[in-house]
Amino acid sequence: VTGEVNFADDGQATITIGQKDYQLGFANSRQRVLNTLKKEITATGQPRQRLVVYPKIIHFPKRDQHHQISFQLVAFDKGECLNGVSQQLKDNEFQLRGLWQFIPVCRVPCISVMKNFSKERLDYIKKADLDQKVRFLKSSHVPISWKDSPTKPFRFNPKAGKEQGHATFVQIKAKFLPQRNSFTFVEQLAPPLEDAPKFLKASKDDKASLQKSKKSR
């Protein structure tokens, strides 16, 4: 994405895209990237920057409440990189890989992006406390307008059995539309897969235990 990056006195960052402000967060492992971005803006006096980000979506229980979008900083592009994702995508474009499905709190079908499996990540979550584990494994459910998708988005029916099937794994390029606060399909990066690559996600029991512990505090 390209937009004006602003830092508040409390250290919170936002990026303005299409006259709308979006929270710009970062993982602890990206603290150095954030600090370098601050120095770049201070040195050049140019708050308008091209960033590589992950979309972060918050959905709310009430169906009439619209989802909230923010972005997580990965890197920023000074025009020096000749390859990589920054060069493969135009402004406001994203590569999304995940499960094509409906979720209960969103009327629009989503691509559910999970954490890719790795031994390092598995070792980390085994050592992490419950709160860290659930936050680390949190999926991002990105709502997508995709009219002619080659497979229908899966809709889970709790009353049906296993024969109802499962979500397919899709890989697409999508564009963020700030005027609509939504994402739309651009093109497929690969055909849909019946079986998704191995991934990690928080279990229902872990989520329930965390909610219970928060209520008891």
State residue 79's pLDDT score.
59
Say if residue 127 is in the same domain as residue 166: yes
Nearest partner of 149 among 110, 180, 185, 177, judged by Cα: 185
Task: Give how far the C-alpha of residue 35 lies from the chain's centroid of Cα atoms, to the nearest Å.
Answer: 22
State residue 82's pLDDT score.
44
Say if residue 62 is in the same domain as residue 154: no
State residue 54's pLDDT score.
94
Structural domain range at position 48:
1-79
Beta-carbon count within 10 A of 104 CB:
10
Cα separation, 151 vs 41, in Å, equals 44
> Could you tell me if residue 184 is inside a domain?
yes
Nearest partner of 97 among 55, 157, 51, judged by Cα: 55
> Could you tell me if residue 217 is inside a domain?
no
Say if residue 189 is in the same domain as residue 116: yes
Say if residue 112 is in the same domain as residue 57: no
Identify the segments of the chain with pLDDT beneath 50: 82
Say if residue 50 is in the same domain as residue 101: no
**Per residue in 73-88, pLDDT tens?**
998 877 555 456 777 8
Say if residue 56 is in the same domain as residue 126: no
Unique residue bearing structure tokens 């989520």:
207
Say if residue 74 is in the same domain as residue 107: no
> Could you tell me if residue 140 is inside a domain?
yes
Say if residue 1 is in the same domain as residue 28: yes
State residue 194's pLDDT score.
95
> Could you tell me if residue 198 is inside a domain?
yes
